[in-house]
Amino acid sequence: MNTISSYSPIHVVGGGLAGSEAAWQIASSGVPVILHEMRGVRGTDAHKTDGLAELVCSNSFRSDDATSNAVGVIHAEMRMAGSLIMATADRHQVPAGGALAVDRDGFSEAVTRAIHDHPLITVVREEVTGLPPGDWDLAIVATGPLTAPSLASAIQAQTGEDSLAFFDAIAPIVYRESIDMDICWYQSRYDKVGPGGTGKDYINCPMDEAQYNAFVDALISGDTVGFKEWEGTPYFDGCLPIEVMAERGRETLRHGPMKPMGLTNAHNPTVKAYAVVQLRQDNALGTLYNMVGFQTKLKYGAQVEIFRMIPGLENAEFARLGGLHRNTYINSPTLLDPSLTLKSRPGLRFAGQITGCEGYVESASVGLMAGRFAAAERKGEAISLPPATTALGSLLGHITGGHIVTDEEPGKRSFQPMNINFGLFPELQPGLIVKPEGVKRFRGKDKTIMKRQLIARRALADCAAWLGQNSPLAESA
């Protein structure tokens, strides 16, 4: 550890997206950090490496549109706040239409290198089996959805609350060279060009009605991994296994990840596909593609058999098949204060997916806030919460104060993992949404777009003010 700082270190437990971002924010403020990461000593069911900030599911950070998409807004706010995760993602992006996707290996390696190279960060490879000891007066637990059972038990003992759990399923990755491009074609939906993209960033596999129905039948009857002791655990709706979606109705997939809208078969432009499977580039070399929306708990043999029914993937070779793991999160609205501190133990904060946020950028953003709050506390400064009008503030508000009901189990049944979305933002002041001059008909869709644009612009302006910056993004959003 570098000794140039006069401050005592803050301990961060967990080297995922949230823990890495928290450590970076703390060190950037001039406070030393000890980052504890168990991988390298003990693995998990989902991680493949011991690299920091490893992406275990998709390689996409989702939309990068800061003008009218809530995810793009939180991207922009994190960039303004000096986010390591966003800066690294920007340097390692791969084409993905309107989304920001990354080369997962290059991304993790770069975050790991940045953390190890920072003079105020010390990385300790060890498993923290209980809550941080008392002499760690300031600490952040960012162990994510794969929190070790021993630590989860310690959290339960401290809080007196049961941790809630849900399943998360991982999508398969296909080798590009094994995809039949005489059947498939390159195209982004509606030809949309995003960061680093060309409008032809996805590989599309078309299905006619008979092929689609046979595929749905196979999914429903496919052999899946059993629930075992996790029987009855709810799924997060944003990450449903493909076979669970199929069970919810024959047309569910056609209106979800397999929707054909905005796509034209380059090999047969006059015939509209009944359904389309999309694959998104997964690495910078373009040799790997992941199956978009195809998270699954099918057993490996069933995956290979069923997914090779997809036109163009008859001879597909898989670099990674889908998998299933358990996610755990705490009942944050009842347990944490507005600065993410455990109410029953001052100085101990939680960050990332264990708090009940969902998604890569959301997890990292909560780490960003926890790190800034902890650093301010160490330096004896007042903790400044992001405005509720910002993406950061709205997500923080959901985690620490959202969806509590007063019944025999306060909060537990109403608080669920959440991605950032415009539904979490405060409403606009009345009168801001007005019909533009020269527009004859101002329909509901147009009003919705304007509302989102105004919320995004307000969020970026308020975030810049919170950070003491001028925001050209806010002016152009």
Q: What is the largest CA-CA distance in the chain?
A: 70
Residues 141 and 212: their CA atoms lie apart, in Å, by 45
19 among annotated binding-site residues: yes
Q: Are 82 and 25 in contact (CB under 8 A)?
A: yes
Distance of CA 255 to the CA centre of its chain: 22
* C-alpha of 41 from chain center: 25
CB contact at 8 A, 175 and 318 = yes
Burial class (CB in 10 A: 0-12, 13-18, 19+), 270: exposed
CA distance 139 to 35: 10
Q: Is 15 annotated as a binding residue?
A: yes
**Is residue 17 part of an annotated ligand binding site?**
yes
| Residue 237, both tokens | 């709706």
Strand ranges across the sheet with 121-125: 121-125, 33-37, 10-13, 139-141, 348-350
Distances (CA, A) of 465 to 95, 365, 384, 389: 32, 18, 12, 12
Is 14 flagged in the annotation as binding? yes
The answer to the question of whether 423 is labelled as a binding residue is no
Cα–Cα–Cα angle for 68, 72, 74, rounded to 5 degrees: 115
18 is in an annotated binding site: yes
DSSP summary character for residue 96:
-
Per DSSP, the residues of 214-227 read: HHHHHHHHS-B---
Q: Quote the tokens at residue 362.
A: 């959301």
Q: How far apart are CA 424 and CA 404, in angstroms?
A: 14
C-beta atoms surrounding 429 within 10 Å = 9
Alpha-carbon gap, residue 1 to 24, rounded angstroms: 14
CA distance 123 to 44: 19
- The three-class DSSP label of residue 381 is coil
Query: Is residue 411 a contact partner of residue 417, using CB atoms and an 8 Å limit?
Result: no
391 token code pair: 């993406």
Binding-site residues from annotation for FAD: 14-19
Binding residues: 14-19
